């Protein structure tokens, strides 16, 4: 699937493991936990999730699927909305992970932009090439999670305008929709999810790297 398309050499595998499991997932889930804690929800802290330790955020099934099919996920951060003072705080917690991935990508893209300004080809250096892939991985994670389908982070923007009854139905049907997309994506060999994510990745990549991601 999407992440496997980055795999061209053993060094790329290292970059993907570091970028996805160690950096991408960890930063994403830590951001959810940290912001929820800051807004008064102690749930994540009591479960040891306000941590930059990757093992606190790795989901066993998500990690296994990552190595099997090239795509996976981290352990969702538990959030108790009853502790949050404002409804808008729920959106801030939900989008914290996406913002964290984009912020990480932006920071890591600095040496890439400097190299480009100096006329240095990214592929000419294995370090720059690895950084480039880690940046792309964080862009992929942000682009995927921003999709407005439960249980992805972007779905909370739609939930914000729904009643409690509508939220239940939206989550129930939405989680099966994303599962169906992943299965259909894998079985058909046609990257449906990538097609949906492509314009989002293009915008993020242009803003962060100044050029389209190598996946486009």
Gyration radius of the chain's alpha carbons: 18
Question: Once rounded to an integer, what is the mean pLDDT over residues 14-39?
Answer: 89
The pLDDT tens digits for 129-160 are: 889 989 988 998 999 899 998 888 999 999 88
pLDDT above 90: residue 38: yes
Residue 214 lies in a domain: no
> In this structure, are residues 123 and 133 in contact, taking their beta carbons and an 8 Å threshold?
no
Cα–Cα distance measured from residue 39 to residue 86, given in angstroms and rounded to the nearest whole number: 9
Residue 215 lies in a domain: no
DSSP for 33-94, written as a single string: HHHHHHTT--HHHHTT-SS--GGGTB-HHHHHHHHHHS---BPPPP--GGG-SSHHHHHHHH
> In this structure, are residues 144 and 197 in contact, taking their beta carbons and an 8 Å threshold?
yes
88-92, 134-138, 185-189, range with the lowest pLDDT: 185-189
The pLDDT tens digits for 1-24 are: 555 555 566 666 777 777 888 889
Q: 135: domain range?
A: 3-208
> In this structure, are residues 33 and 20 in contact, taking their beta carbons and an 8 Å threshold?
no
Which burial class, exposed, middle or buried, applies to 191 when counting CB atoms under 10 A from its CB (0-12, 13-18, 19+)? middle
Residue 64 lies in a domain: yes
pLDDT category at 91 given cuts 50, 70, 90 is very high
Q: Which residues contact 76 (CB under 8 A, 6 or more apart)?
A: 29, 59, 151
Q: Which is more confident, 198 or 179?
A: 198
Q: Say how many domains are in the chain.
A: 1
Residue 213 lies in a domain: no
Residue 82 lies in a domain: yes
The pLDDT tens digits for 43-67 are: 999 999 999 999 999 888 877 777 7
| Model pLDDT, residue 174 | 83
């Amino acid at each position: 699937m999407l992440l496997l398309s980055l795999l061209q050499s053993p060094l790329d595998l290292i970059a993907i493991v570091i970028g996805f499991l160690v950096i991408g997932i960890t930063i994403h889930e830590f951001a959810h936990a940290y912001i929820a804690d800051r807004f008064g929800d102690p749930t994540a802290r009591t479960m040891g999730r306000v941590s930059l330790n990757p093992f606190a955020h790795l989901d066993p099934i998500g990690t296994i699927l990552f190595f099997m099919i090239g795509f996976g996920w981290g352990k969702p951060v538990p959030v108790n909305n009853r502790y949050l003072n404002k409804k808008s705080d729920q959106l801030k917690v939900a989008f914290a992970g996406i913002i964290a991935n984009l912020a990480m990508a932006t920071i890591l893209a600095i040496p890439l932009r400097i190299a480009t300004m100096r006329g240095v080809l990214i592929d000419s250096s294995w370090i720059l090439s690895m950084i480039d892939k880690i940046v792309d991985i964080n862009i992929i994670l942000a682009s995927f999670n921003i999709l407005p389908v439960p249980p992805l982070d972007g779905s909370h923007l739609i939930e914000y305008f729904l009643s409690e009854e509508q939220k239940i139905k939206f989550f129930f049907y939405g989680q099966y929709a994303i599962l169906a997309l992943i299965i259909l994506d894998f079985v058909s060999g046609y990257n449906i999810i990538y097609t949906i994510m492509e314009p989002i990745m293009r915008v993020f990549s242009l803003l962060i790297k100044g050029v389209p991601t190598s996946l486009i």
